[in-house]
Homo-oligomer: A and B are copies of this chain.
Amino acid sequence: AVSGAGDALLAQCRAAAEAASGARLALGGLTPGARRDLLLECAAGLRSSAGAIVEANAQDLAGSSGLDAAMRDRLRLDAGRVAAMAAAVESIARQDDPVGKVVEGRVLPNGLRLQKRRVPLGVVLVIYESRPNVTSDAAALCLKSGNAVLLKGGREAAHSNRAIVAAMRPALAARGVADAVVFVDTTDRRATELLVGMDDLIDLAIPRGGPGLIRAVVAAARVPVVKHDAGNCHVYVDGHLDGLEDAAERIVVNAKAQRPGVCNAAETLLVHRAAAGRMLPRLASALSARGVELRGCEESRALVPSMKAATEEDWGTEYLALIMAVRVVGGVDEACAHIRRWGSRHTEAIVTSSLASAERFVSLLDSASVMVNCSTRFADGGEYGLGAEIGISTNKLHARGPMGAEDLTTFQWVVRGEGQIRG
């Protein structure tokens, strides 16, 4: 029970969850083709309501003076961004349907025919902040995977989110699944805490937002949570770099500086001792030119005296800013030991011309994504071809890394026989 949360709020949250839960059966009755068409109709609804959505967004922006420029930018919608939202829904519509996909099947010795197939989870709760495009992305991924969805957006985007759901609702209603997408229309923060306690109605909660939101959800949750914690990512520049010196510089700079505020940006640079002498000054100068502050180990600082000294705290920090820790290591094994000790198992990259180094780097790490000769920034549902992503999981169970529609399903074993009993 949430102290101080009124009965009216609880009743509203339960009604929302019950509506979504009630829509599951009707949703299950739609064929894959009908679900694809439904999504295309939702996208058409977004396109034809673009004016109303942008207008609603203007109301949110008008009330957003307390937000910083980056947050305001994420909140802002214009005709182009609404068109991009519709295009994402269309792209999800055209993906292979994950529901019913048989992932395993065999005939057992007693003649029983066994199939393990994907089925929807049921009701998915998505809790998110600022970016209103999550509303249509999450709705589309949940519908594609046969799930009803409860959307709990941030108060700063309430008008936009309400308008986006309203734009999709006629298409849903026309197919008898109006409540397959339910917008929890309250700006009361306690609603989140109430919703994540409803394990009789909700099968999965996905919080998308800052550490405060994630912590609050995990602390209050009785429903399973797939979440994204930390992204302390690494780039390791190996001693074998035949013809890859330029690529090393490009990858390090891209991984750190292209968009430093996101989870797949790199935070620590590890360099093999054999390459440090020629590569570190060059990398440091390229990073500095992009405004990156470097904090190095003693050995790095001997090569690049302008670096600040790194402390142990630096190895464990996800800066999400133009700061990078730097350490010289003795080889792949030492690099991986550092990453296993300090990393968050999100994404790590190696730059190497050695096949042995590449294979060893991949096999020694249990991070969700491991990159060979490319930037950590590619760890992304869109880049991986999943369409929009519902989130990035740093859990090891169920889903790992970027999550698409398939990650919103579970399995069902179906066994068909002719009267077999167990002896």
Contacts and interface: CB of A to CB of B under 8 A. Distances in A.
Nearest to A333: B25
A419 B373 contact: yes
A412 B108 contact: no
Nearest to A251: B421
Contact of A411 (B121, B254, B401): B401
A220 interface: no
A112 interface: yes
A368 B411 CA distance: 7
B254 A415 contact: no
A362 interface: yes
A375 B371 CA distance: 48
A254 B421 CA distance: 6
A421 B367 contact: no
Summarize A's interface: helix, strand, loop or mixed.
mixed
A400 B121 CA distance: 11
A370 B414 CA distance: 5
A419 B108 contact: no
Interface stretch (A70-78, A306-314, A379-387): A379-387
Interface in A357-374: 358, 362-374
A178 interface: no
Contacts of A204: 396-397
A106 interface: yes
A210 interface: no
A297 to B, nearest CB: 23
A374 B413 contact: no
A413 B384 contact: yes
A377 B413 contact: no
Contacts of A214: none
Given A250-B419, A421-B250, A397 B410 contact: yes
B119 A415 contact: no
Interface in A392-420: 395-398, 400-402, 410-420
A114 interface: yes
A378 interface: yes
Nearest to A363: B28
A244 interface: yes
A114 B400 CA distance: 14
B413 A379 contact: yes
A412 B258 CA distance: 24
Contacts of A114: 384-385
A399 to B, nearest CB: 8
B417 A374 contact: yes
Interface of A: 25, 28, 106, 108, 112, 114, 119-122, 203-204, 224, 226, 244, 246-247, 250-251, 253-255, 258, 358, 362-375, 377-379, 383-385, 395-398, 400-402, 410-422
- Closest 5 A/B residue pairs (Cβ): A247-B419, A374-B417, A254-B421, A377-B422, A397-B398
Given A119-B366, A374-B417, A401-B411, 15 more contacts: A108-B385, A121-B396, A204-B397, A224-B395, A226-B397, A365-B412, A366-B412, A371-B417, A372-B414, A374-B420, A377-B422, A378-B415, A384-B413, A397-B410, A401-B413
23 contacts: A114-B384, A114-B385, A119-B366, A120-B366, A121-B396, A204-B396, A226-B397, A247-B418, A254-B421, A258-B421, A365-B412, A369-B412, A369-B413, A370-B413, A372-B414, A372-B417, A373-B417, A373-B420, A374-B415, A377-B422, A397-B397, A397-B398, A400-B412
